[in-house]
Amino acid sequence: MVGAKPSGGETVLEVRDLRLELSAKDGARLPVLEEVSLKVGRGEIVGIVGESGCGKSVLSLSVLGLLPPSIRVAGGGIYNGERKELHRLGEKSLQRIRGKEIAMIFQDPMTSLNPGMTVGKQVAEAIRLHTGASKREAEEKTVGLFRKVGLPRPETLYHEYPHRLSGGMRQRVMIAMAVSCQPDLLIADEPTTALDVTIQAQILKLMKTLREEDGTSILLISHDLGLISGVCDRIAVMYAGRIVEEGAAAEVLRHPAHPYTAGLLASLALPSKKGTRLHSIPGSVPALRERGPGCAFASRCPYAADRCLAEKPALRGVAGSAFPRSAACHLLGEEGGLANVGS
Protein backbone atom coordinates (compact mmCIF):
# COMPACT_ATOMS: atom_id res chain seq x y z
CA MET A 1 0.00 0.00 0.00
CA VAL A 2 1.26 3.45 -0.85
CA GLY A 3 0.92 6.66 1.16
CA ALA A 4 -2.13 8.13 2.83
CA LYS A 5 -5.74 7.09 2.54
CA PRO A 6 -8.13 9.80 1.36
CA SER A 7 -8.89 11.84 4.46
CA GLY A 8 -12.50 11.74 5.58
CA GLY A 9 -13.73 10.44 2.25
CA GLU A 10 -14.00 13.96 0.79
CA THR A 11 -14.36 13.72 -2.98
CA VAL A 12 -12.72 16.11 -5.46
CA LEU A 13 -14.05 14.42 -8.57
CA GLU A 14 -16.87 12.05 -9.29
CA VAL A 15 -17.66 10.62 -12.69
CA ARG A 16 -20.99 8.78 -12.70
CA ASP A 17 -22.24 6.42 -15.40
CA LEU A 18 -20.56 8.55 -18.04
CA ARG A 19 -21.37 7.74 -21.63
CA LEU A 20 -19.51 9.44 -24.48
CA GLU A 21 -20.59 9.13 -28.08
CA LEU A 22 -18.59 9.68 -31.22
CA SER A 23 -20.40 10.88 -34.34
CA ALA A 24 -18.61 9.19 -37.19
CA LYS A 25 -18.38 10.73 -40.66
CA ASP A 26 -20.96 8.30 -42.01
CA GLY A 27 -23.44 9.38 -39.35
CA ALA A 28 -22.97 6.35 -37.11
CA ARG A 29 -22.96 6.95 -33.36
CA LEU A 30 -20.27 4.96 -31.68
CA PRO A 31 -19.92 4.48 -27.93
CA VAL A 32 -16.49 5.75 -26.86
CA LEU A 33 -17.14 5.39 -23.13
CA GLU A 34 -19.92 3.38 -21.51
CA GLU A 35 -21.11 3.56 -17.91
CA VAL A 36 -17.82 4.83 -16.57
CA SER A 37 -17.91 5.66 -12.87
CA LEU A 38 -14.93 6.87 -10.90
CA LYS A 39 -14.26 8.80 -7.70
CA VAL A 40 -11.11 10.61 -6.64
CA GLY A 41 -10.82 11.51 -2.96
CA ARG A 42 -8.84 14.42 -1.53
CA GLY A 43 -5.14 13.62 -1.45
CA GLU A 44 -5.68 10.40 -3.32
CA ILE A 45 -3.63 9.19 -6.29
CA VAL A 46 -5.82 7.21 -8.66
CA GLY A 47 -4.42 5.42 -11.69
CA ILE A 48 -6.14 4.54 -14.93
CA VAL A 49 -4.55 1.79 -16.99
CA GLY A 50 -5.61 0.35 -20.29
CA GLU A 51 -4.58 -0.24 -23.86
CA SER A 52 -4.32 2.31 -26.60
CA GLY A 53 -7.76 3.50 -27.70
CA CYS A 54 -9.65 2.30 -24.63
CA GLY A 55 -10.72 5.87 -23.79
CA LYS A 56 -8.27 7.09 -21.15
CA SER A 57 -7.61 10.42 -22.83
CA VAL A 58 -11.23 11.19 -23.75
CA LEU A 59 -12.20 10.52 -20.15
CA SER A 60 -9.73 13.09 -18.88
CA LEU A 61 -10.64 15.59 -21.60
CA SER A 62 -14.32 15.28 -20.72
CA VAL A 63 -13.57 16.30 -17.12
CA LEU A 64 -12.16 19.61 -18.33
CA GLY A 65 -14.78 20.14 -21.03
CA LEU A 66 -12.16 19.76 -23.74
CA LEU A 67 -13.75 17.02 -25.82
CA PRO A 68 -13.36 17.31 -29.58
CA PRO A 69 -16.55 18.43 -31.38
CA SER A 70 -17.22 14.94 -32.71
CA ILE A 71 -17.52 13.47 -29.21
CA ARG A 72 -20.35 14.41 -26.84
CA VAL A 73 -21.57 13.44 -23.39
CA ALA A 74 -24.52 11.15 -24.06
CA GLY A 75 -25.34 10.11 -20.52
CA GLY A 76 -24.26 10.27 -16.90
CA GLY A 77 -22.34 13.14 -15.37
CA ILE A 78 -19.14 14.64 -14.03
CA TYR A 79 -19.10 16.41 -10.67
CA ASN A 80 -16.43 18.35 -8.81
CA GLY A 81 -15.91 18.54 -5.04
CA GLU A 82 -18.80 21.02 -4.67
CA ARG A 83 -21.07 18.72 -6.66
CA LYS A 84 -21.17 21.14 -9.58
CA GLU A 85 -22.20 19.39 -12.78
CA LEU A 86 -19.10 20.02 -14.85
CA HIS A 87 -20.62 18.46 -17.95
CA ARG A 88 -23.31 21.15 -18.03
CA LEU A 89 -21.08 24.17 -17.44
CA GLY A 90 -20.51 26.73 -20.16
CA GLU A 91 -17.09 27.61 -21.50
CA LYS A 92 -16.78 30.65 -19.20
CA SER A 93 -17.35 28.71 -16.00
CA LEU A 94 -15.13 25.89 -17.20
CA GLN A 95 -12.30 28.32 -17.75
CA ARG A 96 -12.52 29.32 -14.11
CA ILE A 97 -12.22 25.69 -13.10
CA ARG A 98 -9.46 24.72 -15.48
CA GLY A 99 -6.04 25.33 -14.03
CA LYS A 100 -7.38 26.66 -10.76
CA GLU A 101 -9.36 23.72 -9.48
CA ILE A 102 -8.48 20.98 -11.96
CA ALA A 103 -5.23 21.14 -13.91
CA MET A 104 -3.97 18.86 -16.59
CA ILE A 105 -0.61 17.68 -17.89
CA PHE A 106 -0.91 16.46 -21.45
CA GLN A 107 0.65 13.47 -23.15
CA ASP A 108 3.12 15.58 -25.14
CA PRO A 109 4.62 18.59 -23.33
CA MET A 110 5.97 20.16 -26.52
CA THR A 111 2.52 20.65 -28.03
CA SER A 112 1.22 22.35 -24.92
CA LEU A 113 4.08 24.80 -24.44
CA ASN A 114 4.27 27.92 -26.56
CA PRO A 115 7.53 27.68 -28.53
CA GLY A 116 7.82 31.43 -28.91
CA MET A 117 7.72 32.41 -25.24
CA THR A 118 10.24 31.71 -22.48
CA VAL A 119 9.10 28.97 -20.12
CA GLY A 120 9.24 31.28 -17.11
CA LYS A 121 6.99 33.84 -18.74
CA GLN A 122 4.48 31.16 -19.71
CA VAL A 123 4.12 29.96 -16.16
CA ALA A 124 4.08 33.50 -14.73
CA GLU A 125 1.30 34.54 -17.12
CA ALA A 126 -0.78 31.53 -16.14
CA ILE A 127 -0.39 32.56 -12.50
CA ARG A 128 -1.38 36.17 -13.22
CA LEU A 129 -4.40 35.07 -15.19
CA HIS A 130 -5.74 32.93 -12.37
CA THR A 131 -4.70 34.90 -9.29
CA GLY A 132 -4.37 38.47 -10.48
CA ALA A 133 -0.91 38.60 -8.92
CA SER A 134 1.46 41.40 -9.90
CA LYS A 135 4.18 40.77 -12.43
CA ARG A 136 6.86 40.60 -9.75
CA GLU A 137 4.86 38.30 -7.50
CA ALA A 138 4.15 35.96 -10.39
CA GLU A 139 7.81 35.91 -11.36
CA GLU A 140 8.93 35.10 -7.84
CA LYS A 141 6.31 32.42 -7.52
CA THR A 142 7.40 30.87 -10.81
CA VAL A 143 11.03 30.66 -9.75
CA GLY A 144 9.89 29.06 -6.49
CA LEU A 145 7.82 26.51 -8.40
CA PHE A 146 10.70 25.70 -10.74
CA ARG A 147 12.80 25.00 -7.68
CA LYS A 148 10.05 22.89 -6.14
CA VAL A 149 9.72 20.66 -9.22
CA GLY A 150 13.47 20.14 -9.20
CA LEU A 151 14.48 22.25 -12.18
CA PRO A 152 18.16 23.20 -12.00
CA ARG A 153 19.21 26.90 -11.98
CA PRO A 154 15.61 28.17 -11.85
CA GLU A 155 16.50 31.87 -12.29
CA THR A 156 18.41 31.21 -15.52
CA LEU A 157 16.00 28.64 -16.77
CA TYR A 158 13.17 31.15 -16.44
CA HIS A 159 14.50 32.90 -19.54
CA GLU A 160 14.93 29.81 -21.72
CA TYR A 161 12.70 28.83 -24.63
CA PRO A 162 11.07 25.36 -24.58
CA HIS A 163 13.19 23.88 -27.40
CA ARG A 164 16.32 24.49 -25.34
CA LEU A 165 15.14 22.15 -22.58
CA SER A 166 15.33 18.37 -22.45
CA GLY A 167 12.14 16.28 -22.41
CA GLY A 168 12.35 15.79 -18.66
CA MET A 169 12.83 19.50 -18.02
CA ARG A 170 9.89 20.40 -20.27
CA GLN A 171 7.70 17.93 -18.46
CA ARG A 172 8.70 19.55 -15.17
CA VAL A 173 7.85 22.99 -16.53
CA MET A 174 4.42 21.59 -17.43
CA ILE A 175 4.01 20.26 -13.92
CA ALA A 176 5.08 23.60 -12.44
CA MET A 177 2.48 25.34 -14.59
CA ALA A 178 -0.20 22.81 -13.70
CA VAL A 179 0.32 23.14 -9.94
CA SER A 180 0.92 26.91 -9.99
CA CYS A 181 -2.60 27.65 -8.73
CA GLN A 182 -2.64 24.77 -6.27
CA PRO A 183 -5.37 22.80 -7.99
CA ASP A 184 -7.38 20.28 -6.00
CA LEU A 185 -6.90 17.77 -8.76
CA LEU A 186 -4.06 17.20 -11.16
CA ILE A 187 -4.76 15.03 -14.20
CA ALA A 188 -1.60 13.62 -15.76
CA ASP A 189 -2.04 11.82 -19.09
CA GLU A 190 0.99 9.57 -19.74
CA PRO A 191 3.30 12.18 -18.18
CA THR A 192 6.45 10.08 -18.45
CA THR A 193 6.12 7.96 -21.60
CA ALA A 194 8.74 9.95 -23.49
CA LEU A 195 11.22 9.92 -20.63
CA ASP A 196 13.89 7.49 -19.57
CA VAL A 197 13.51 5.56 -16.33
CA THR A 198 15.85 7.71 -14.26
CA ILE A 199 13.88 10.88 -15.14
CA GLN A 200 10.59 9.01 -14.78
CA ALA A 201 11.54 8.12 -11.22
CA GLN A 202 12.19 11.81 -10.49
CA ILE A 203 8.77 12.85 -11.81
CA LEU A 204 6.92 10.20 -9.81
CA LYS A 205 8.73 11.24 -6.66
CA LEU A 206 7.64 14.80 -7.37
CA MET A 207 4.00 13.72 -7.64
CA LYS A 208 4.16 12.03 -4.26
CA THR A 209 5.68 15.20 -2.79
CA LEU A 210 2.84 17.32 -4.19
CA ARG A 211 0.31 15.05 -2.60
CA GLU A 212 2.07 15.04 0.74
CA GLU A 213 2.86 18.77 0.94
CA ASP A 214 -0.21 20.29 -0.71
CA GLY A 215 -2.77 17.50 -0.47
CA THR A 216 -3.14 17.52 -4.25
CA SER A 217 -5.24 14.68 -5.67
CA ILE A 218 -3.82 13.08 -8.79
CA LEU A 219 -5.45 11.15 -11.60
CA LEU A 220 -2.58 9.37 -13.33
CA ILE A 221 -3.17 7.85 -16.73
CA SER A 222 -0.78 5.32 -18.16
CA HIS A 223 -0.52 1.98 -19.89
CA ASP A 224 2.50 1.13 -17.75
CA LEU A 225 1.42 -1.15 -14.90
CA GLY A 226 4.77 -0.91 -13.13
CA LEU A 227 4.61 2.84 -12.98
CA ILE A 228 0.99 2.92 -11.84
CA SER A 229 1.71 0.33 -9.21
CA GLY A 230 4.50 2.39 -7.69
CA VAL A 231 2.49 5.55 -6.89
CA CYS A 232 -1.23 4.89 -6.94
CA ASP A 233 -3.56 4.20 -4.03
CA ARG A 234 -6.32 2.92 -6.26
CA ILE A 235 -6.45 1.92 -9.89
CA ALA A 236 -9.12 1.48 -12.52
CA VAL A 237 -8.43 -0.89 -15.41
CA MET A 238 -10.15 0.14 -18.64
CA TYR A 239 -10.94 -2.02 -21.62
CA ALA A 240 -12.76 -0.90 -24.78
CA GLY A 241 -14.48 2.10 -23.22
CA ARG A 242 -15.41 0.56 -19.88
CA ILE A 243 -13.88 0.14 -16.48
CA VAL A 244 -13.52 -3.61 -16.06
CA GLU A 245 -11.85 -3.65 -12.67
CA GLU A 246 -11.27 -1.17 -9.88
CA GLY A 247 -9.83 -1.25 -6.39
CA ALA A 248 -6.78 -0.75 -4.17
CA ALA A 249 -3.72 -0.82 -6.44
CA ALA A 250 -1.81 -3.54 -4.63
CA GLU A 251 -4.90 -5.76 -4.33
CA VAL A 252 -5.86 -5.50 -7.97
CA LEU A 253 -2.33 -6.12 -9.18
CA ARG A 254 -1.64 -8.96 -6.78
CA HIS A 255 -5.00 -10.71 -7.12
CA PRO A 256 -6.61 -9.56 -10.35
CA ALA A 257 -10.30 -10.43 -10.53
CA HIS A 258 -10.89 -9.72 -14.21
CA PRO A 259 -9.34 -12.06 -16.80
CA TYR A 260 -8.09 -9.05 -18.76
CA THR A 261 -6.16 -7.65 -15.79
CA ALA A 262 -4.80 -11.12 -15.11
CA GLY A 263 -3.78 -11.48 -18.76
CA LEU A 264 -2.02 -8.12 -18.80
CA LEU A 265 -0.04 -8.93 -15.69
CA ALA A 266 0.92 -12.33 -17.03
CA SER A 267 2.14 -10.78 -20.31
CA LEU A 268 4.72 -8.54 -18.66
CA ALA A 269 8.30 -9.43 -19.52
CA LEU A 270 9.36 -9.32 -15.88
CA PRO A 271 12.80 -10.56 -14.80
CA SER A 272 11.20 -13.66 -13.27
CA LYS A 273 9.97 -14.72 -16.74
CA LYS A 274 13.45 -14.95 -18.24
CA GLY A 275 13.89 -18.22 -20.10
CA THR A 276 10.16 -19.00 -20.15
CA ARG A 277 7.60 -18.36 -22.84
CA LEU A 278 5.54 -15.25 -22.14
CA HIS A 279 1.85 -15.59 -21.64
CA SER A 280 0.05 -13.55 -24.26
CA ILE A 281 -3.50 -12.43 -24.77
CA PRO A 282 -4.50 -13.60 -28.25
CA GLY A 283 -5.96 -11.13 -30.74
CA SER A 284 -6.30 -7.41 -30.20
CA VAL A 285 -8.74 -4.85 -28.79
CA PRO A 286 -11.91 -4.64 -30.91
CA ALA A 287 -12.29 -1.36 -32.78
CA LEU A 288 -15.14 1.00 -31.89
CA ARG A 289 -17.34 -0.39 -34.65
CA GLU A 290 -16.67 -3.99 -33.74
CA ARG A 291 -17.95 -3.74 -30.20
CA GLY A 292 -20.87 -6.16 -30.00
CA PRO A 293 -23.59 -6.71 -27.44
CA GLY A 294 -21.54 -8.92 -25.13
CA CYS A 295 -18.41 -8.44 -23.02
CA ALA A 296 -15.83 -6.62 -25.18
CA PHE A 297 -13.10 -8.94 -23.90
CA ALA A 298 -14.99 -12.16 -24.69
CA SER A 299 -13.28 -12.77 -28.04
CA ARG A 300 -9.89 -12.86 -26.31
CA CYS A 301 -10.92 -14.40 -23.02
CA PRO A 302 -9.87 -17.97 -22.23
CA TYR A 303 -12.93 -18.40 -20.00
CA ALA A 304 -15.61 -16.92 -22.25
CA ALA A 305 -18.99 -18.66 -22.11
CA ASP A 306 -22.17 -18.12 -24.16
CA ARG A 307 -23.45 -15.57 -21.73
CA CYS A 308 -20.30 -13.45 -22.21
CA LEU A 309 -21.05 -13.04 -25.92
CA ALA A 310 -24.66 -12.11 -25.37
CA GLU A 311 -24.70 -9.81 -22.41
CA LYS A 312 -22.46 -7.06 -21.04
CA PRO A 313 -21.37 -7.76 -17.47
CA ALA A 314 -21.93 -4.92 -15.02
CA LEU A 315 -19.27 -3.63 -12.65
CA ARG A 316 -20.03 -4.92 -9.18
CA GLY A 317 -18.43 -5.58 -5.85
CA VAL A 318 -15.94 -8.37 -5.41
CA ALA A 319 -16.47 -10.27 -2.18
CA GLY A 320 -13.71 -11.46 0.09
CA SER A 321 -11.51 -8.41 -0.32
CA ALA A 322 -10.16 -6.25 2.49
CA PHE A 323 -10.81 -3.04 0.53
CA PRO A 324 -13.78 -2.12 -1.63
CA ARG A 325 -13.18 -3.30 -5.14
CA SER A 326 -15.20 -4.28 -8.13
CA ALA A 327 -14.96 -6.03 -11.46
CA ALA A 328 -17.15 -6.50 -14.53
CA CYS A 329 -17.11 -10.20 -15.36
CA HIS A 330 -19.82 -12.85 -15.53
CA LEU A 331 -17.37 -15.39 -14.19
CA LEU A 332 -17.28 -13.75 -10.82
CA GLY A 333 -20.49 -15.53 -9.92
CA GLU A 334 -23.63 -14.13 -8.42
CA GLU A 335 -22.13 -13.68 -5.00
CA GLY A 336 -19.22 -11.78 -6.53
CA GLY A 337 -16.70 -14.29 -5.25
CA LEU A 338 -13.54 -14.84 -7.24
CA ALA A 339 -14.14 -17.75 -9.54
CA ASN A 340 -11.07 -19.69 -10.63
CA VAL A 341 -9.92 -16.85 -12.82
CA GLY A 342 -6.44 -15.44 -13.09
CA SER A 343 -3.49 -16.60 -11.02
Ligand X SMILES: Nc1ncnc2c1ncn2[C@@H]1O[C@H](COP(=O)(O)OP(=O)(O)OP(=O)(O)O)[C@@H](O)[C@H]1O
Q: Does 165 bind ligand X (CB under 6 A)?
A: no
Shortest Å, Cβ 106 to Mg ion: 9
Q: Are 325 and 335 in contact (CB under 8 A)?
A: no
Segment 12-41, which members bind ligand X (CB under 6 A)? 22, 32
Q: Give the range of 4-12, 72-80, 125-133, 271-279 binding another protein by CB under 8 A.
A: 271-279
Nearer Cβ to ligand X (56/234): 56
CB 187 within 8 A of CB 101: no
User: How would you classify residue 145: left for phi > 0, otherwise alpha for psi between -120 and 50, otherwise beta?
Assistant: alpha
Residue type, position 123, single letter? V
Nearest approach in angstroms of CB 290 to ligand X is 11
Entry field: residues in the chain: 343
Q: How far is the CB of 140 from ligand X (least distance, A)?
A: 35
CB-nearer residue toward another protein: 97 or 252? 252
CA 71 to chain centre: 19
Residue 84: exposed, middle, or buried by beta-carbon count in 10 A (0-12, 13-18, 19+)?
middle
Please report how close the Cβ of residue 98 comes to another protein at its closest, in angstroms.
29
Of residues 53 and 77, the one with the C-beta less far from another protein: 53
C-alpha dihedral (61, 67, 71, 76), degrees to nearest 10: 60
User: Segment near another protein (CB under 8 A), from 104-112, 197-205, 312-320, 324-332?
Assistant: 197-205
Nearest to 118 by CA among 146, 79, 89: 146
Please report, as ranges, the residues that interact with ligand X according to CB under 6 A.
22, 32, 50, 52-58, 68, 70, 223, 288
Please report, as ranges, the residues that interact with another protein according to CB under 8 A.
1-2, 51-52, 150, 152, 166-169, 194-202, 205, 223-231, 249-250, 252-254, 263-265, 267-274, 277-282, 284-285
